[in-house]
Amino acid sequence: MTESLILPAGQDDLARFGTLRWPDDESRRLWFHLAQSAPNCAWVARDEGTPIGIAIAHPLEDEWFLSDLFVERSFRGVGLGRQLLTEAAKDAGDVTRSGLLKPDEIGGVAFFVRRGVSLQTPVLQITGTIPREEDVARMAAGDYRFTTELLDPIAQRLALSALDREIRGSARPLDHHYFSQHAHGVAFYLRDEFVGYTYVWPSGKIGPMCSTSPSYLVQFFAFAMAALVRVHGASWCSLLAPGTNLRILRAAMRAGLTIESLHIFASDGPPPELSRYIGFHPLLF
């Protein structure tokens, strides 16, 4: 094998890897959005002109998030993943570095560990059939009486940014703009005070979901499942539940949902308050 070159990804590279990596339309749309949303965030490895690997980073306000890392199987084990990540991260600056890794992504795990990035929290992908309407209604009828309104990422930007900084460690106004274009977003209020938000997607995904109190999350979760049925006609749902979010994990298990896969949230920053958070996609946790 000749020496591989690491270069900024071009449109042909993105078209090739986007289709290869994410066969469903929603994931592929998100993948292309991330690859094209900021300069020097997508890097490709080439061997004799053939693209064999790609890395995509996503810059937030105070965070550099690894969205995707892939190297063709026959080229693994020679350091290409490390080279791709080094190039993608070189302009990140003095920010928190994080990522949602699969346990078998040894290259990404090793890259983060070598740079002092700790493997902080398991994140479980939960999937299953949405419970019957009466069961969801019973779950939603908790101790609190929330009012809701459609989420407006511009009008509610200050409240969203403050909550995201508190929970995830970084504001993400551009992400909310994308979410609001492609998903149904809802803001929750308690006695006229903003207390959280959630999005539901046409594919059945729930999240991101964020709350000022863990006590609210089960009712938010029930509302999200009902919204999936009402808005998108969904019968199935999926979410990324951090291992520290026991309220949601227990509620999901009681509702008959199952654990489909496991990821690991890694970060070199202070552990975020993920007991009040649900993610929706490993590309943009």
Summarize pLDDT for 144-166 with one digit per residue, the tens.
999 999 999 999 999 999 999 99
Q: Give the H/E segment covering residue 231.
A: helix 217-232
Q: Would you state the pLDDT for residue 86?
A: 83
Q: What percent of the chain clears pLDDT 90, i.e. is strictly above it?
A: 60
> Is residue 70's pLDDT more than 70?
yes
Least confident of 104-108, 123-127, 194-198: 104-108
Mean pLDDT of 11-20: 84
> Is residue 113's pLDDT more than 90?
no
Indicate the pTM of the whole model.
0.91
The better pLDDT of the pair 95, 164 is held by 164
pLDDT band at 229 (very low <50, low <70, confident <90, very high): very high
Q: What is the rounded average pLDDT for all residues in the chain?
A: 91
| Token pair belonging to 171 | 């504001």
> Is residue 4's pLDDT more than 70?
no
> Is residue 225's pLDDT more than 90?
yes
Q: Would you state the pLDDT for residue 41?
A: 84
Q: Would you state the pLDDT for residue 281?
A: 94
| Token pair belonging to 197 | 């938000």
Pairing of strands 96-101, 63-71: parallel
Q: Would you state the pLDDT for residue 203?
A: 95
- The residues with which 57 forms a beta bridge, in sequence order, are 66
> Is residue 91's pLDDT more than 90?
no
Q: Give the H/E segment covering residue 195.
A: strand 193-200
The better pLDDT of the pair 11, 261 is held by 261
Mean pLDDT of 20-47: 87
Whose CA is closest to 10, among 48, 47, 36, 38?
A: 36
> Is residue 2's pLDDT more than 50?
no
Neighbours of 169 (CB within 10 A): 20
